[in-house]
């Protein structure tokens, strides 16, 4: 991070958004941890890639609130500061609408999402793919890796080739883990020397 980026980050009013996101602490994640940590991790991915944009970082901190808190009053978000309306609009772009299928949602982000919406979605998926390393359900791992390749790779291709490269590496490593686990399960078990049948 350059000094210029540090100064820009220092001038962004993030604390009220972080406070709001703590409502997600009680939402556990499939791979461990909770949804609040995922919001912060998504923001960290963006900073890691040099995105020091106030609207984008604020949206990253609260990007799952509308979807994961059904009774959330959106006016709470809109009242935070003068950028809240822009933050809300960006969050809406990366929020799945009621009744909208996952493929339709991801296609919408690809086809009509703003540049920031696409970048945010890719950062979100990088965070999720890292967490996938702690998931032991191989069917879920395979399905999520396939979904990432089919829907998120094209989004990353449009906005950031370096983020795409990281996603490709994550998908490859998760698939290798899947294949290694499948191979291990397929190996016949060796007979136990404590089995009484060995002494017949």
CA-wise closest residue to 56 among 18, 86, 81, 77: 86
138-160: pLDDT as tens digits = 888 888 899 999 999 999 999 99
* Entry pTM: 0.86
DSSP structural state of residue 29: -
Considering only CA atoms, which of 132, 127, 116, 111 is closest in space to residue 177? 132
Q: How many CB atoms lie within 10 A of CB 45?
A: 22
Q: What are phi and psi of 195, to 5 degrees?
A: -70, 130
Cα separation, 99 vs 83, in Å, equals 29
Assess whether pLDDT exceeds 90 at residue 105: yes
pLDDT tens-digit series, residues 63-81: 999 999 989 999 999 999 9
pLDDT-derived band at 184 (thresholds 50, 70, 90) equals: low
Mean pLDDT, the chain, integer: 88
Record: fold of 3-186: Hypothetical protein af1432 (1.10.3210)
pLDDT at 196: 31
How does 96-118 read in b/e, with b if 16+ C-beta sit within 10 Å? Answer: eeeeeeeeebbbbbbeebeebbb
Q: Token match 């959106």: residue?
A: 74
């Amino acid at each position: 991070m350059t000094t210029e980026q540090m100064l820009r980050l220092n001038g962004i009013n993030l604390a009220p958004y972080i406070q709001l996101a703590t409502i997600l602490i009680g939402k556990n994640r499939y791979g461990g941890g909770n949804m609040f940590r995922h919001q912060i991790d998504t923001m960290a991915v963006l900073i890691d890639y040099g995105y020091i944009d106030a609207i984008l970082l604020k949206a990253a901190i609260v990007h799952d609130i509308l979807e994961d808190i059904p009774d959330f009053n959106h006016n709470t978000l809109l009242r935070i500061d003068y950028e809240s309306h822009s933050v809300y609009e960006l969050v809406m772009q990366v929020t799945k609408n009621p009744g909208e299928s996952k493929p339709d949602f991801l296609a919408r982000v690809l086809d009509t999402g703003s540049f920031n919406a696409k970048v945010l979605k890719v950062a979100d998926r990088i965070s999720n793919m890292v967490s996938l390393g702690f998931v032991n359900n191989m069917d879920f791992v395979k399905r999520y890796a396939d979904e990432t390749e089919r829907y998120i790779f094209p989004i990353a291709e449009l906005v950031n080739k370096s983020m795409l490269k990281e996603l490709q590496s994550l998908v490859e490593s998760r698939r290798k883990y899947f294949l290694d686990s499948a191979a291990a399960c397929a190996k016949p078990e060796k007979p136990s020397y404590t089995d009484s049948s060995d002494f017949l």
